[in-house]
Chain A
Amino acid sequence: MPMNVLEVSDVSIKYNGHLAVDKINFDVKEGDLLGIVGPNGAGKTTLFKAIIGLQNHSGKIKLFGYNEADYQPLLPLIGYVSQKVVFEPNFPATVSEVVSMGLIPERKLRKGAMLLKNCGYSWNLLYQKVGKDSDKVLECLKTAGLESLKDRRIGDLSGGELQRVFIAKALVKDPVLLILDEPVTGVDADAQNKFYNVLKKINTENKITIVWSSHDLEAISKLANRVACMNRKLFFHGEKEEFFSNKELLKTYAESAMQMHMHDHN
């Protein structure tokens, strides 16, 4: 039985005076690729921020069975890729320099490593075996298919390439959990496919647990093994097959997504 990497119990979040997340419950097991679907404004980003410690909330969040008061040393081990990273367009950093920013100094990992050891988690240290930091960076660039772009300045990349840079930056720290917030919004189909291949690879080959929010139901049906569907409240959480065979649920999701879409455009 795989262990629970993340448990979210009765989590509610008030954002700008209204309830953005309403009593949500779900868990993520080791090796999962959980796809979270929900229309814009469903509270997905807010929920992610609560998990990584940037957002106040009520209810309980547990990482590897540890309560929030105890899991702080594990937070740096979560790889988080936000929806859009805003940076100076002429920021003087190359792709490999940006990926290197993700490296965590060993002294900062010690406490987290101890917590993982105590709960019996076999931390996937694929990249640490590689040795030197520069080799780790190169390995992650390879995984994300960015080897040929390593010396390119970050501002010269396309949206799809950029998102893969941020994935590589999150990977270089040997994450125990990777959280991706609508990573390919506004990226063309070809770049999306490349991105999905990288995602599959890091989940199956590198055995990294992933939580990924997306509007792309087709991609989720191909890649995820479990699905959560939310719009402030949780409507579904379970195996992918169950979600995609539930016509009623899919219809409700399509309607609410459409409503939100209309709302956004009015």
Chain B
Amino acid sequence: MTLEILGYSFIQKGLIAGVAIAIICSLMGMFLVLRRYSLFGDALSHMAFGGISLGLFTGIYPLWTAFIVSVLGAIGITKLRKSTKISGDAAIAVLLVSGLGIGVLLISATGGFKVDLFSFLFGSILLISIEDMLLILGISSGVIVALVVLRKQLLHLTFDEEQAKVSGINTDKLNYVFVILASVTVITSMRLVGILLISALIVLPNITAIMFGKGFKKTVMLSVSMSVISVVSGIILSYYLDLAPSGTIVMISVAMLVGTLLLKYVNVLGKSQELQKTV
């Protein structure tokens, strides 16, 4: 039965793009979660919503306007945080509501919601074209390469920004590169789960993986695996149950988190950790 569904080209495209997105969201999300930027993805995607509305309003390809508006918003908020000492969560709220505000304003100006907008809001991974898929693969590869190259510096910056600066890392520049990479990740991933659920992909696999009490490398590998499993099983399950893929993916991630919490509660993970300590 499973083989049969893998024969459909829309499922194939969806799975390939989905796996790429699962990987970049999990990798980028690890740094976002650890820097207490968990909702940054949400804020960026709301900025993107404003950008998409701008694209639909002006007739420019919406993903480009979404990208530009998100990146500008992210850079703006980084500057604002630095110069005014606004706290991280407040800065994220500013970004989120501004994006939403622009979006709602422009939608009302264009005369209400359109089908296009719904696919951005809730995701439409099974509707992507081969060009879309190739674009997602290309951008994801770029993000992965950038993260692999910058991993040591990003880890140091995330762990202790002051020490990172002292050891010669240009932290200002790296912070900008970081928010731009985060914007690219969010815009690319919108096709999978949509603007409204993007934070799920960024946050859930990472907080679940962190609970296993492992070091950085192992935690990243766990998070990527869980992210990929939830996307692949979510797409397949949603096909058979005739449900929305985005919601199914997110709920599988939630189930993994709850399952891990339960394991921790009955102390299976705790015991294994203690075992490690005594060995």
Contact = CB atoms under 8 A, between A and B. Distances in A.
A is bound by B: yes
Interface of A: 52-54, 75-76, 78, 80, 82, 85, 87-88, 90-94, 97-98, 100-104, 108, 151-153, 169, 173
Contacts of A151: 215, 276
Interface of B: 34, 36, 152, 155-156, 159-160, 162-163, 165-168, 209-211, 213-219, 276-277
Given A91-B34, A93-B215, A153-B215, A104 B168 contact: yes
Contacts of B218: 92
Contacts of B36: 88
A92 B210 contact: yes
A75 B168 contact: yes
A92 B209 contact: yes
Closest 9 CB pairs of A and B: A76-B168, A94-B215, A92-B219, A101-B156, A93-B216, A92-B210, A97-B216, A76-B167, A80-B166
B159 A91 contact: yes
A183 to B, nearest CB: 14
A66 to B, nearest CB: 16
Given A93-B155, A153-B215, A54 B160 contact: no
Contacts of B219: 92
Contacts of A173: 167
B167 A92 contact: no
B168 A82 contact: no
A173 B169 CA distance: 14
A125 B210 CA distance: 37
Contacts of B162: 54, 82
Contact of A85 (B152, B156, B160, B217): B160
Contacts of B210: 90, 92
B155 A102 contact: no
10 contacts: A85-B163, A92-B34, A92-B210, A92-B218, A93-B155, A98-B159, A101-B155, A101-B159, A153-B213, A173-B167
Nearest to A103: B152
